[in-house]
Each structure stands twice: as C-alpha cells, then as structure tokens.
C-alpha cells in the first residue's frame, strides 16, 4: 500500500503496540487552535480550475443550498483539514469522498441487488479513518438539513462508527478471500425494517428497476430524429456539443481497449448513434461528462457515461497515484472497494489532456433521501453504512491492523461522533464564507 506522507505502516503499528493510538483519533476539528488554516473559498476556486467554466455557476448554485450540499461539493476542503491532523498511518484504499449519499443500492452483473459505495472519483490509498470521519460528519450535516436533533445526529455518527468497529473485528478473523466474496444484500436492509417500511422499500425497488429499463430510458432521455435515435435537448443539463463529439468518439474507441474481450465484443454489437454533454452531481459539476447512446437490434438501448477523471483530492497529502491515467485509478479503486462493479467499467484518454472513466449511466441505482428520513431510518442507514465501509476497507487486507488500532469498547465510536459534531460546525462556518463569496461576486452564480 502507498505511504502517507510522514508516516509508515510500521510506525502506525508501533503506535498501536505502545497504546498511543488514542492520541491520533482526535475529536477536535481543524480550526481548533489552527489560525493558519487555508481559506476554504480559495480551495473551491482552485478546484474550479480546468472545469468547463460555463458550468461552474451551476456547481456553486447546487453547493449553496445548504451546509450539507456545500460539504458534498467540498471534498478538497476536508482533505486539506484531515491532512493537517495526526493520522493513524494505517493505509487502505479509501473512497476519498465518503459521505452518506455516496452509499446506495444497485444491480450487480448477476442482477442481484446489493448495498455498497457507489462513487469513487476521489478514491486513493489513505489513512482508514479519513473515510470514517468524512462519513460521520456527513451524517450530522444531513440530519441538520432536515431538522433532526443534535442528539440524534450524534447518535447516527456513533452508530455508524460502532457498526464499522464490530464488522472490522469480524473481518480481522476472516480469510481475505472470504472478505472479497462477501456482499451486503439489499434484501437484508429491507428485512431489518418493520412490515410497512419493508413494503415501501420493495415498492421503491420495483420503481427503480422499471426506471432503468430501456423503455423508461427511451421515454425520458432519447427521441427519434431524422430516422435515428438521439438524446433529447434539455439544456443546460443535457445538450449536444458537436465540436466535442469527435473527441468523445475517439475516447470511446480507446475505452474499448481497456475492457476484456468478452465485454468489448458485446459492445461491438451496438451502434454508437449519439453523444451529448450531461451535468451530474454536485462536486462534479463543471467537469467534462458526456453520455453515449448505443443502440442494438430491436431497439436495445444502452447509455454509457464518459466522466472526466481528475487528480484525487487525497493525492496532494499522500503518495502520488501509481496510475498515469486517473480514470484507471478510479476503476481499480472501485473494483477493490466494491463487492461487484459495473460490467462496462473502464477508462480512457481523449484527444486532449483530459482523462476519463466509463460506466453505465443507470443500472437500478438507489441513493438515500434524507428528506424522507425518520429517526429510525437514519440510524438504520448509519448502521448499514458502517458495515459497508468496513467491508470496503477490509478488502485492502489490513482488517487485523485496523481492528487492533481501534480496539474494543465505545472509545472509538464516541471519538468519531464527537469529531462529527465538531467538523459539522466547522463546515457550517465554511458554508457562510462560501455563500458570502457567492453574494460578493468572488464566486459566480
């Protein structure tokens, strides 16, 4: 595994053996006693560099809705804060942007529905607790956004960290191959609820399966034009850019070379009929993102997303990526962390210096919706998120080291929940600076 700057795994193991681990699991946010902290608005400005500048105001607008939406788009701010703190030195493949909405359910190539992480744009080897801290703070901010009490928000962060701790202790005693074989079925999530809620979740799953069908995609996104299928024009979120189509087509040809022969052979039975630009996410807005329409026999539709891959927000504070193409970094990191990945996942480079990864646009994907949370559903989701993250980290082969590091009892979970409250407050202060920058014109809306 890569080495965190200034810390080796051997040094981290020594900390565990000497009982010094508690000193590294700080509960204080970075601003405490840290007057030299960099301006978060300056970090946002830096992350805007290289984006499609006409889309940057949409990014700012989406981030300005609440402290939680700001947090979702400001992974680089937290990466800088985490790097300024003591760390465990126990390095695993991290998500890098491990907030609660980056967990969800989706269909595996075998058509099973599982719960797992589903966003890996920032994945990179880093100290394991960086993901936990980002996830814990996101639970507090998500809860704040819907009016949950401070006590419930802290309980959610505690529940997640404790669940992670319990699962990691199990993985520490499990064969690594069995860790890689493990998965968390969506059915277990359904069955953990009462009868009424379970029925509602099954209904939502059925709706999502229907939405992912070729017929539904046809109705929502594509239309007949001059005898051929093409994407609908829905600016500024979905639009055609003819000057970019040739570059995307060349990138698509290179992408096919990164797939196994059976996958590339399958795609060669489809005809590429259209290419359009699509705005996605919050933090990703302004990065290059195209959608490719593939049509097979009998109007068999497949839509792939060609998404720009940039340097991970974690890379400036850890060892550099061993991959020349950031798209390959994302693909490899996703395959390490997920139980099962999209069968069309691959990477490519374009005619410009931009790098990309490719995946299906939609394949029975479901994400949490905080607006519908009750106290029960929030705590239940927190529990499952801890389980999912433990499994993802355990696949790096460091389960025993992590389990020894965090130990037993409630110290670890309490530390993470206290940190979550502290960092959420810091994020709210950063959000005020961000919105002031938007109002003053420093950042464009």
Give 220-275 pLDDT, tens digit per residue: 899 988 888 999 999 988 999 888 888 888 899 999 999 999 999 999 999 999 99
Cα 287 from Cα 355, distance rounded (Å): 11
Residue 15's pLDDT is 46
Segments forming the whole domain that contains residue 171 = 9-209+367-440
Q: Following CA atoms 205, 208, 209, 215 in sequence, which dihedral angle do they give, to the nearest 10 degrees?
A: 160
Q: Are residues 260 and 326 in the same domain?
A: yes
pLDDT band at 8 (very low <50, low <70, confident <90, very high): very low
- The residue among 138, 45, 75, 21 whose CA lies nearest residue 317 is 75
Q: Answer yes or no: is pLDDT of 412 > 90.
A: yes
Q: Are residues 300 and 420 in the same domain?
A: no
- Condensed to tens digits (0 to 9), the pLDDT of residues 13-35 reads 444 443 445 555 554 554 444 55
Residues 6+ apart with CB under 8 A from 330: 120, 121, 123, 309, 347, 357
Residue 352's pLDDT is 67
Cα 373 from Cα 407, distance rounded (Å): 31
Q: What is the chain's mean pLDDT, rounded? A: 89
Of 121-125, 198-202, 351-355, 361-365, the poorest mean pLDDT is in: 361-365
Question: Can you tell me which residue has the tokens 């493949």?
Answer: 93
β-pairing, 355-360 vs 289-296, is unpaired
Residue 288's pLDDT is 87
Cα–Cα distances (Å) from 357 to 251, 258, 277, 406, in that order, read: 10, 10, 15, 35
**Which residues share a beta bridge with 225?**
228
Residue 424's pLDDT is 98
Final residue in a domain of this structure, among 360, 379, 405: 360
Q: How many domains does the chain have?
A: 2
Residue 28's pLDDT is 53
Q: Are residues 247 and 391 in the same domain?
A: no
Residue 18's pLDDT is 38
Confirm whether 2 is domain-assigned.
no
Confirm whether 24 is domain-assigned.
yes
Confirm whether 429 is domain-assigned.
yes
**% of the chain at pLDDT higher than 70:** 90
Q: Answer yes or no: is pLDDT of 298 > 60.
A: yes
Q: Are residues 272 and 167 in the same domain?
A: no
Q: Are residues 183 and 291 in the same domain?
A: no
Confirm whether 215 is domain-assigned.
no
Q: Are residues 310 and 436 in the same domain?
A: no
- Record the tokens describing residue 104, joined without a space: 């969800």
Q: Are residues 331 and 401 in the same domain?
A: no
Of 96-100, 106-110, 237-241, the poorest mean pLDDT is in: 106-110
Of 151-165, 281-295, 307-321, 418-432, the poorest mean pLDDT is in: 281-295
Confirm whether 445 is domain-assigned.
no
Q: Answer yes or no: is pLDDT of 109 > 90.
A: no
**% of the chain at pLDDT higher than 90:** 68
Average pLDDT of 140-168?
98
- The residue among 215, 145, 142, 212 whose CA lies nearest residue 366 is 212
């Amino acid at each position: 595994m890569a080495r965190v700057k200034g810390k080796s795994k051997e040094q981290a193991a020594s900390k565990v053996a000497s009982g010094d681990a508690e000193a590294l699991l700080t509960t204080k946010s970075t601003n405490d006693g840290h007057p030299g902290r960099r301006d978060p608005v300056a970090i946002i400005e830096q992350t805007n560099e290289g984006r499609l500048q006409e889309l940057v105001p949409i990014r700012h607008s989406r981030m300005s809705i609440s402290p939680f939406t700001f947090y979702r788009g400001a992974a680089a701010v937290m990466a800088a804060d985490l790097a300024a703190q003591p760390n465990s030195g126990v390095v695993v493949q991290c998500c890098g942007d491990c907030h609660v909405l980056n967990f969800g359910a989706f269909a595996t190539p075998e058509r099973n529905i599982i719960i797992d992480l589903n966003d890996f744009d920032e994945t990179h080897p880093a100290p394991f607790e960086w993901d936990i801290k980002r996830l814990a703070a996101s639970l507090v901010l998500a809860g704040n956004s819907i009016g949950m009490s401070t006590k419930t928000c802290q309980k959610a962060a505690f529940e997640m960290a404790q669940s992670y701790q319990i699962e990691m202790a199990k993985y520490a005693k499990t064969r690594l191959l069995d860790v890689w074989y493990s998965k968390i079925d969506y059915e277990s999530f359904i069955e953990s609820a009462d009868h009424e809620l379970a029925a509602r979740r099954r209904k939502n799953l059925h709706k999502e399966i229907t939405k992912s069908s070729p017929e539904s995609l046809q109705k929502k996104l594509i239309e007949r034009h001059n005898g051929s299928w093409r994407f609908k024009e829905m600016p500024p979120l979905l639009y055609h850019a003819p000057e970019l189509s040739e570059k995307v087509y060349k990138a698509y040809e290179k992408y096919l070379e990164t797939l196994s022969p059976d996958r590339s052979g399958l795609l060669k039975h489809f005809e590429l009929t259209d290419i359009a630009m699509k705005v996605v996410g919050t933090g990703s807005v302004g990065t290059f993102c195209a959608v490719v329409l593939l049509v097979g026999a009998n109007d068999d539709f497949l839509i792939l997303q060609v998404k720009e891959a940039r340097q991970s927000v974690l890379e400036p504070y850890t060892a550099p990526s061993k991959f020349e193409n950031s798209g390959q970094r994302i693909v490899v990191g996703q395959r390490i962390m997920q139980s099962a990945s999209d069968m069309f996942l691959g990477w490519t480079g374009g005619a410009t210096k931009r790098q990309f990864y490719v995946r299906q646009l939609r394949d029975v994907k479901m994400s949490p919706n905080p607006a519908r949370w009750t106290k029960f559903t929030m705590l239940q989701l927190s529990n499952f998120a801890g389980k999912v993250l433990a499994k993802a980290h355990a696949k790096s082969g460091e389960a025993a080291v992590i389990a020894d590091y965090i130990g037993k009892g409630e110290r670890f979970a309490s530390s993470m929940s206290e940190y979550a409250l502290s960092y959420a407050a810091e994020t709210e202060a950063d959000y005020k600076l961000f919105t002031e920058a938007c109002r003053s014109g420093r950042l464009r809306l």
